[in-house]
Structure 1
Amino acid sequence: MPKLIQISDCHIDDQALAMEADTQANLKKIIAQISSQKFDALLISGDLTHQGTAPSYNRLKQILAPIDAPIYVIGGNHDNITQLEKTFKQNTFNSFKLKNWEIVSIDSVQLDKTSGRVTQGALLKLDQTLEASNADHIMVVLHHPIVPMNSTWDDALSLENPQDLFKVLDKHSKIRIVVFGHAHEAAHFSNKQFDIVSCPSTALQYNQETRIGFNEFNLQNGGNINWQTQWI
């Protein structure tokens, strides 16, 4: 049974402080905790850095050094995709497999905008990847929330066209879960086919939660998922 750990919204900057939080020290705490565990992959769902500078990506790579498991990353609205792909060239992905599971990404980032949008090209690529998958079960990951968060979060900053994404997702019965970040809070939702899970930030939360955290997913061979948010 593979174990996947998801972290999100690290917001590492050239300096220690970003958004009035020591995002470097906070991420080090998270890495110290998860590096003592056995798991099969680390997934980072966007906003790896705060301003997308080359030094901030290099600093992030240093902080992640204790991780022995494969690391997979997608970009967020704070990331500079050119710098991200330069520093983490071996870690970006369209899809990867963990036993009989496949984890598939879709890009939701818009240039110079906080909110997200999935383009027709991205949707076509996702649809083709899902159709071609020979995995028994699928997890889809993107940066932006795809449902109202039912919190103090401003949903106008989430995915602008979730209905277009759901048209593709609902076609594929192997999907068991969709995960994202961006909102800096932990939350769980369900639709008729799959779970929907929001990952907290390693930097700080936007709601009243004062802790930092990450999500753990135990992906069972039969398609069930045992998952929990771990807080520090």
Structure 2
Amino acid sequence: MNAEKLQLTEFHKDRVIIQITDTHLMDRPEAEFVGINPEENFHAVMDDIKQQYPHVDAIVHTGDLAQAAFPETYDRYINYMKEFGVDFYHIPGNHDNLRFFPFHTPEPRPAVISIGQWRIILLNSAVSGQTDGRIQNEQLLELKKILAQLQDCFVIIACHHNPFEMRSKWLDQHKLKNADELKAVLEPFQNIKALIHGHVHQESFNEWNGIPFISTPATCVQFKPLSQEFAFDQIAPGYRCLHLKASGEFETVVHRLKNFKVTINEEISGY
């Protein structure tokens, strides 16, 4: 096969990406948070990814990378991911420090990941000093320009905060506050295949305008679904695989760690 045909075959083949989210890493690898060790959880998830998907194309982290959001936390994460040997990308969450966060592109321009015919657009929904989210107007304008240029590609949007309510009173007050503005930007484009997000520490699915809005379990602790008051869920951490097809369709599945002992400090009353 000549080089041109090989390149064309590579462009049109199916792809696999992994979404991880809400690692909440501490400044020291041995440090605990709400009765667990976030570093151990994170590494256990990454080990499972390596076993399940040895040929993954990219890993996308959808925010709350750090709980102790210091430069040393981010440096340790970056070094670990480089050693893992897979292309990796990340966006900030409300627990991240925007001064130290290792953005892929200068604000407000979203980063765009190219994987064959697919493009993954990384949005920043984190606002310094706030738990809830908002995508700044300048970023939405940039997003609109980018989408206009990508109409021949299949697009996935990634942000941290949930655009849809989770039917949990305590959690819904911290959703993406300008979700309607985001949807107004997305609405004219027919090639947006999904929006993936974190923040809610649980698996969920909503659909709007034919676009699935999907959340993924945290590698850290899980939140109890449909809970009006703050509550943890006694369920193992996990991650999401997205199998992106050359046809523009995709399949997705959530994996949770097996034989994983959950040890959470239930006395914690807020997060």
TM-score after normalising by structure 1: 0.92
Q: How far apart in 2 are the matches of 1:72 and 1:164?
A: 25
Deviations 1:173-225 (A, max 9, x none): 11010000011111112123211100111011111242100000001111211
Which residue pairs with 2:121 in the alignment?
104
Aligned-partner Cα distance in 2 for 1:187–1:153: 16
Question: 1 CA distance for matches of 2:152 and 2:114?
Answer: 8
Percent identity over paired residues: 24
Quote the RMSD (CA, aligned, Å): 1.9
* 1:81 and 2:106 matched: no
Counterparts of 2:151 and 2:85 in 1: how far apart (Å)?
A: 27
Is 1:70 the counterpart of 2:70 in the alignment? no
Q: Does 2:207 correspond to 1:190?
A: yes
Indicate whether 1:24 and 2:49 are aligned. no
Q: Which amino acid aligns with 2:44?
A: K
| Runs of 5+ consecutive residues of structure 2 not aligned to the other structure | 1-13, 225-232, 258-271
Map residues 1-232 of structure 1 onto 2, 5 A cutoff.
Answer: 1-15=14-28, 16-36=31-51, 37-85=54-102, 94-151=111-168, 154-207=171-224, 208-232=233-257
Instruction: Quote how far apart the aligned CAs of 1:153 are.
Output: 5.4
Residue type at the aligned position of 2:56: F
Between stretches 114-123 and 65-74, larger displacement belongs to: 65-74
- Give the secondary-structure state (helix, strand or coil) at the position aligned to 2:46: helix
**Residue 84 of structure 1: CA displacement?**
2.0
Q: How many aligned residue pairs are there? A: 229
Of residues 161-170 and 186-195 in structure 1, the stretch that sits farther from structure 2 once superposed is: 186-195
* Partner-residue secondary structure (3-state), 1:154: helix
Write the deviation string for residues 109-150 of structure 1: whole angstroms up to 9, x where unpaired: 111000001121111011111111154210000010011113
Supply the distance in 1 between the matched residues of 2:154 and 2:213 (Cα, whole angstroms): 15
Separation of aligned partners in 1, 2:170 and 2:239: 19
Secondary structure of the structure 1 residue equivalent to 2:147: helix
Higher Rg of the two aligned structures: 2
Query: Could you tell me how far 1:76 is from its partner in structure 2?
Result: 1.1
SS in 1 for 2:222: coil
- What SS does the corresponding residue of 1:144 show, helix, strand or coil? coil
Gap regions ≥5 residues in structure 1: none
Does the CA-based 8 Å contact 2:97-2:128 persist in structure 1?
no
Deviation at 1:66, TM superposition (A): 4.3
Q: Distance in 2 between matches of 1:191 and 1:19?
A: 35
Question: Which amino acid in the other structure matches residue 103 of structure 1?
Answer: I
Secondary structure at 1:12 match in 2:
coil
Q: Cα deviation per residue 1:27-78 (whole Å; 9 max; x = unaligned)?
A: 0101111123211000011111112111211232344344221001111111
Q: String of CA shifts for 1:56-105, please: whole Å, max 9, x gaps.
A: 112323443442210011111111223222xx769x96101111110012
Local SS of the residue matching 2:148 = helix
Give 4+ residue runs of structure 1 displaced > 6 Å after superposition. Answer: none
